[in-house]
Amino acid sequence: MHNISEILTHYGEEREGAVAPKLVQSTNFCFRTVAEMREALAHESETSFYTRGVNPTVALLRKKLAALSSSEECLVFSSGSAAIGAAVMANVKAGDHVICVQKPYGWTTKLLDNILSRFGVETTYVDGRELKNWEEAIRPNTRLFMLESPNSGTFEQQDIAAVAKLAKAHDIITVIDNSYATPLNQQPIKMGIDISIHSASKYLNGHGDVVAGVLCCSKEMYEHIFKGEFMTLGGIISPNDAWLMLRGLRTLHIRMARVAESTPLVVNYLKKHPKVTKIYYPFDENEAQYDLSKKQMHAPAGQFSIELNMETAEEVEVFCDKLQYFLKACSWGGYESLIFPAIARMDSQNYHASNINFRLVRFYVGFEDAELLIGDLEQALG
């Protein structure tokens, strides 16, 4: 077991003078003899032969990410969605059945409903908070569980260890989207999950300038996915982006500590505000799954959602537009605070007052001081 700051600062580095790692911006790698070339080709999943497979800069990143995730191996993709696609596709075939948590990341739904359905893979969505819902949905052809804990938007959780145990008993592969928590705050592989995925576009890179995805798994699963979806579909990260991600990773522990400290201050301010009716935050003491949060996550992250005590979508829109420091943008995990209001997905002429979803705003607390952000909320809630 490594120390986290050691992994981020030293682990896997082979320094020969330069402190920063080498950016090996090369498509292919050459060999002195045919015998060496043959040897490299026979071990393509471990050797730099062609950059669609293994590249030294990406290899260093993979090493660090596997160590952080307590997994034997790791693959890095050009996006989180590419990593999810490869993980699921590598483990299902026509006639198989997938059970997925309700309301996962939007593009995970699209993968299952729009793409895999065309190849004869069926999906059932369950309220993942109750173990019995997973159990009752199992069929003889159920091959894969897709978890996301906490999930996107309203942050419901699954009891990861319990769901993993149930899956093992039925010979079902488990995949989790662990983007919310990062490997620092939640360790799904240790809880028995087969494949843990992160959108590295969020916290892992952490600077809002790289789109990438990470897939952590056993050596055996790595070989399976490497030779299959990884090399075949080719959704790799570029060496240049891998190098940027290595730089971003250096401060992951410091950044996560920062949001763990400042987000509860912002949440506590909003909780007391009369214009806020509900908070969705796994580390809020009134949250139904608070005990589970403490059991399986080490610290809070920076994302939460609120429901506003407002009668019309226009009021919500005015509030959002008044905010100066919370930028109106998708994603999260960078230095800048963000909001993504549900009304951004609604036609402003055509929303229904009965659809209370218009009151929902997702927040991400970045690295600004909590007082600065609270001041901004104060003036916007007015």
Q: Is 177 among the residues that bind ligand PLP (CB under 6 A)?
A: yes
Q: Which amino acid type is present at position 241?
A: D
Would you say 48 or 81 has its CB closer to ligand PLP? Answer: 81
Shortest CB 146 distance to ligand PLP, Å: 11
Site string for ligand PLP, 124-153 (x = CB under 6 A): ----------------------------x-
293: Cα within 13 Å, side-chain hemisphere: 20
| Contact residue for ligand PLP among 105, 203, 304, 363 (CB under 6 A) | 105
Stretch that binds ligand PLP, among 20-28, 29-37, 113-121, 198-206 (CB under 6 A): 198-206
Give how far Cα 257 sits from Cα of 7, 18, 261, 299, 301, Å: 16, 29, 6, 8, 9
Shortest CB 200 distance to ligand PLP, Å: 7
Shortest CB 251 distance to ligand PLP, Å: 19
Shortest CB 149 distance to ligand PLP, Å: 10
Structure-derived torsion over alpha carbons of residues 101, 80, 184, 175, reported in degrees to the nearest 10: 40
| Among 152, 7, 12, CA closest to 69 | 7
Would you say 213 or 302 has its CB closer to ligand PLP? Answer: 213
Would you say 328 or 352 has its CB closer to ligand PLP? Answer: 328
Name residues whose C-beta falls within 8 Å of residue 161's C-beta, 6 or more positions apart in sequence. Answer: 191, 192, 296
Name residues whose C-beta falls within 8 Å of residue 328's C-beta, 6 or more positions apart in sequence. Answer: 320, 321, 338, 339, 340, 341, 344
Name residues whose C-beta falls within 8 Å of residue 13's C-beta, 6 or more positions apart in sequence. Answer: 21, 60
Q: Is 305 among the residues that bind ligand PLP (CB under 6 A)?
A: no
Q: Is 199 among the residues that bind ligand PLP (CB under 6 A)?
A: yes
Which residue has its beta carbon closest to ligand PLP? 80
| Contact residue for ligand PLP among 69, 142, 179, 205 (CB under 6 A) | 179
* Beta strands 276-280 and 303-308, pairing class: antiparallel
Q: Which two tokens stand for residue 77?
A: 């993709």
Contact predicate 327/341, CB 8 Å: no
**3-class SS at 198?**
strand
- The burial of 63, by beta-carbon neighbours within 10 Å (0-12 exposed, 13-18 middle, 19 or more buried), is given as middle
Residue 242 CA to residue 288 CA, distance in Å, equals 39
Residue 363 CA to residue 340 CA, distance in Å, equals 7
The interface with ligand PLP within residues 60-99 (CB under 6 A) comprises 79-81
Stretch that binds ligand PLP, among 95-103, 194-202, 247-255, 289-297 (CB under 6 A): 194-202
Q: Is 283 among the residues that bind ligand PLP (CB under 6 A)?
A: no
Q: Is 55 among the residues that bind ligand PLP (CB under 6 A)?
A: no
Residue 79 CA to residue 36 CA, distance in Å, equals 33
Chain CA centroid to CA 213, Å: 8
Alpha helices of 29-79 — where are they, by DSSP H?
Answer: 34-42, 56-69
Please identify which residue in the block is written with the tokens 């899956």.
167
Shortest CB 216 distance to ligand PLP, Å: 14
Shortest CB 250 distance to ligand PLP, Å: 20
Would you say 47 or 109 has its CB closer to ligand PLP? Answer: 109
Shortest CB 29 distance to ligand PLP, Å: 28
Shortest CB 313 distance to ligand PLP, Å: 24
Q: Is 304 among the residues that bind ligand PLP (CB under 6 A)?
A: no
Would you say 242 or 276 has its CB closer to ligand PLP? Answer: 242
Q: Is 339 among the residues that bind ligand PLP (CB under 6 A)?
A: no
Shortest CB 177 distance to ligand PLP, Å: 5
* Contact positions vs ligand PLP (CB under 6 A): 79-81, 105, 152, 177, 179, 199, 201-202, 211, 213
